Structure 1
């Protein structure tokens, strides 16, 4: 598995932002109050979160370029949660405007980077700016599907699925070895446990399952020692914060 180049990641970020905008445009008036696919969250909660994480990742880049580190959210986890609850009840147009402004801020921050600046240290995951770009890619693509407005995991491209396999390998329990067999693609092993489970299906369905989402195409099949078995339970999402959303 290979990561995209900075230029490739920028292209993916812009495509993901365009897809999210199109998905928001399909939400009917009042639809912001309907449930998202995330338990306990309306679309309004999710849109408020998207606004918040775009701004949070943008400021990681903005501060990092000036040699400064700053926590992901003002006020940490509590500040993040308060901001979501305060903004969740906004009108649909307010959410659209907020998300558009936050995405534009984030995209502008990444677009302005020189090649060397992608390796600048930041506080987020004690990593570098490139890690923040990958995080923004995940947030935009996955939460577009979570809005439940006509754009599901079946639209995820092969490059994004490959990135999720790499990033979400941390969800495989220590005692398990997962052998992923995407249709028409080479198999891939995650984990090194003594108990081997083979998970086959469409690449997007496998990626959705690893991400804790409902597969769109219902193609998954799990086997162990040649016999059918249940999909294994996965460890929590490898979040940079205690809240896994």
Structure 2
């Protein structure tokens, strides 16, 4: 399995940020009010959320660098939701400016981290700076697809998909063993050893999209149990903590 390290994560964050800013740069005022791929959210809601999580992660690092801690969102989950609703209706130019500023702030914060600094504790999920970087990578990569601008999960890299396999193992129900079999790649097992085994086969990106609660874009998924075709199994909710991927 491909492993993301503190040395490689900043470049991944920069690439993901460039994708989001590139998409936002194409939107007109009408585009930002159009529905996103997230139920009940416009593209403006998604852009506002991206700004919110980028600023939230940046301040996690800014406080951590001073030996202090602070909650992820100002005002907690309610504060997060209010901020998204307030900003969702902005014009396209405002969204572009906000996205660029918030992502640059976050990239600057992560770009300044060195050595043991990646292990500095932050409030997010009781983890460390590295965990915060991985979270922002997930947010930017997944929500770039949620914007519904022609970019789907088929664009996700192998390292990103394999990271999702690891992070989203918590979505496997107790007593189940999911054997993920990407076409042409080694299998990965998630869940309870000795549990009821279900094989999920298909393109790597389709398996990752399904685990992330997104629509597979290549239509390749197939589930089997005891060699018989079955429905794709139900998944548990997104891993416990602040529900960053909606």
Q: Which residue matches 1:18? A: 18
Is 1:107 paired with 2:135? no
- The ranges of structure 1 where at least 4 consecutive aligned residues each deviate by more than 3 angstroms after the TM superposition are none
Residue 148 (str. 1) matches residue 159 (str. 2)? no
Structure 1 residue 5, shift from structure 2 partner? 1.5
**Residue aligning to 1:36:** 36
State the Cα distance separating 1:23 from its structure 2 match: 1.8
Against the structure 1 CA distance between its residues 126 and 7, is the aligned structure 2 distance closer, same or farther, given a 3 Å change threshold? Answer: same
Question: What displacement does 1:165 show?
Answer: 0.1
Shift in Å, 1:227: 0.5
Deviation, structure 1 residue 2: 5.4
- Closer, same or farther: CA 242–156 of 1 in aligned 2, 3 Å: closer
Contact 1:23 1:151 in 2 (8 A): no
> Given the superposition, is the C-alpha separation of residues 223 and 151 from structure 1 closer, same or farther in structure 2, using an over 3 Å criterion?
same
State the partner residue of 1:194: 195
Taking the aligned partners of 1:150 and 1:113, their CA distance within structure 2 comes to 33
Matches within 5 A, 1:146-185: 146-185=146-185
Query: Displacement of 1:93 after TM fit?
Result: 1.1
- Are the equivalent residues in 2 in contact too, given 1:208–1:215 (CA < 8 A)? yes
Q: 1:51 aligns to what?
A: 51
- Listed one character per residue, the Cα deviations across residues 58-82 of structure 1 (whole Å, up to 9, x for unaligned) are 0011101110010000100110000
Shift of 1:244: 5.6
What TM-score do the two structures reach when normalised by structure 1?
A: 0.97
Q: Deviations over 1:97-134 (max 9, x none)?
A: 10110000000000011111110011111010000000
Deviations 1:194-224 (A, max 9, x none): 2111000000000000000000100000001
Task: In structure 2, list runs of 5 or more residues that go unmatched.
Answer: none
Alignment partners' CA distance in 2, 1:16 and 1:85:
24
> How far did 1:26 drift?
3.1
Matches within 5 A, 1:27-106: 27-106=27-106
Tell me which residue corresponds to 2:227. Answer: 226
Q: Secondary structure, in 3 states, of the residue corresponding to 1:181?
A: strand
**In 2, Cα distance between equivalents of 1:225 and 1:76:** 45
C-alpha distance in structure 1 between counterparts of 2:166 and 2:8, whole Å: 17
- Conserved 8 A contact 1:27-1:149: no
Kindly indicate whether residue 246 of structure 2 is the aligned counterpart of residue 217 of structure 1: no
Aligned equivalent of 1:5: 5
Secondary structure of 1:73 counterpart: coil
Tell me the number of residue pairs that the alignment of Structure 1 and Structure 2 aligns: 245
Matches of 1:239 and 1:103 in 2, distance apart?
25
Greater shift, 147-156 or 16-25, is seen at 16-25
Secondary structure of the 1:173 match is coil
Cα distance in 1, alignment partners of residues 244 and 45 from structure 2: 14
